Amino acid sequence: MLAPTKLSLSGERFSVVYHIVGNHEEVMRKAEDICVEQTIEFPADLVPDDDIRSSIIGRIEEVEACDNNTFRVRISYAVEIVQGELTQFLNVIFGNISLKPGIRVQDLHLPEALLRDYRGPRFGISGVRSLVGVSDRPLLCTAIKPMGLSVAELSRQTYEFALGGVDIIKDDHGLTDQSFAPYRERVSRCVESVQKANQQSGRVSLYAPNVTAPGDQLFERAYFAKQAGAGALLVSPGIVGFDRMQALADDDRIALPLLYHPTFLGSFVTSPLNGISHRVIFGLIGRLAGADIVIFPNFGGRFSFSREECLSIAQAACEPMAHLRPIFPAPAGGMKIERIAEMIETYGNDVILLIGGDLHRHPQGLQKASQLFRESVLQGRRYSWQSDYLAQMIQQ
């Protein structure tokens, strides 16, 4: 047995709500295992009745049945065990136990004592609105694509989208530094295209290049984008790491809004029995890591997220969280112009509507498609490419 340990701790604790599968006896055994596995990872019977046992080891605070085979268990941890490090925070809430079945992180309860160690989003909803000069409507977003196009063609798309009134034009997340569209050339040309369109329209559109890259290139690409005049950055924390996204957000030499792309994170949320809930990984952790905009698959698109799961992300993006700014939810994933009214009704005004491939379907081109996208948002009405085009043909 260890000798008794005396610690000087604040007494402040944060909580993780787990959904644990099993009968009551099995769940209690799993919960007690979580308390130890996520903290000391040491035989609990070798720890004396000291401060490690009373404060460091996780503490079961609540147990409540959800259904016949799942229980809601809230476990608290001392804030000192994460010490302001996002990497350690993630390790504590779902480290070794991610390797065990039937455990899902459902929610987080984070006190100000923990949140004060995080700067959070630099811009948030109000800051992004200020950059584009829009205060009273949802923002419009699209992506340049598909992979394989030349820099000239991608920059042409950027120009037409911006001239048509799209607020944020981002790289598709599959565009990196390929030979057919090299990163530096693409960023420089797309920035020039947006600036040209902005001068002509009198509006402000932002171009967000994808900076997701190997570790030694991530910041190099971000600094280049900033110097070239990019208005925001797209990053995939599931690939580069949430702490790297946090470092981008905190870097005063960059100081650009961050769009959080969900690629590589799907397996965390697709099972109701394991992983991390939509609200936690996209909403709450996204804000801790400094995202200003969180992109996620909207319900009814080409992915499997439900309406309730999407709303849980939007709520977590905007709910009070000490000094951390609320951020924009950006539902996407096969969205069509016809669904604009439904999406505004679902998410309200503080949303970014991300429509990609559907804008390419308009027979009169991207600028016209963007103009109609903008008009549909301003009027909050349903739109159909086919019916609009046919009406114009009849009038002619």
Is 278 known to be catalytic? no
| Planar angle of CA 341, 145, 262, nearest 5 degrees | 65
| 386-389 contacts at long range (C-beta below 8 A, 24 or more positions apart) | 389/362, 389/363, 389/364
Please answer whether residues 166 and 372 qualify as being in contact, where contact means their C-beta atoms are separated by less than 8 angstroms.
Answer: no
Q: What are the angstrom distances between the C-alpha of 167 and each of 46, 68, 89, 269?
A: 59, 48, 34, 30
Is 145 known to be catalytic? yes
**Pick the catalytic residue: 261, 278, 362, 368?**
261
What is the Cβ-side half-sphere exposure of residue 238, based on CA atoms within 13 angstroms?
Answer: 17
What is the sign of the dihedral through the CA atoms of 143, 146, 238 and 190?
negative
Structure-block tokens of residue 131: 């950059």
End-to-end distance of the chain based on CA atoms, in angstroms? Answer: 89
Longest dimension (CA), the chain: 90
**Pick the catalytic residue: 19, 145, 278, 362?**
145
Q: In the sheet that 352-354 helps form, which strands lie side by side, from edge to edge?
A: 206-208, 168-171, 139-144, 352-354
Task: Give the helix ranges, DSSP H, for 120-234.
Answer: 124-132, 151-164, 183-201, 215-228
Which residues belong to the active site?
A: 145, 261
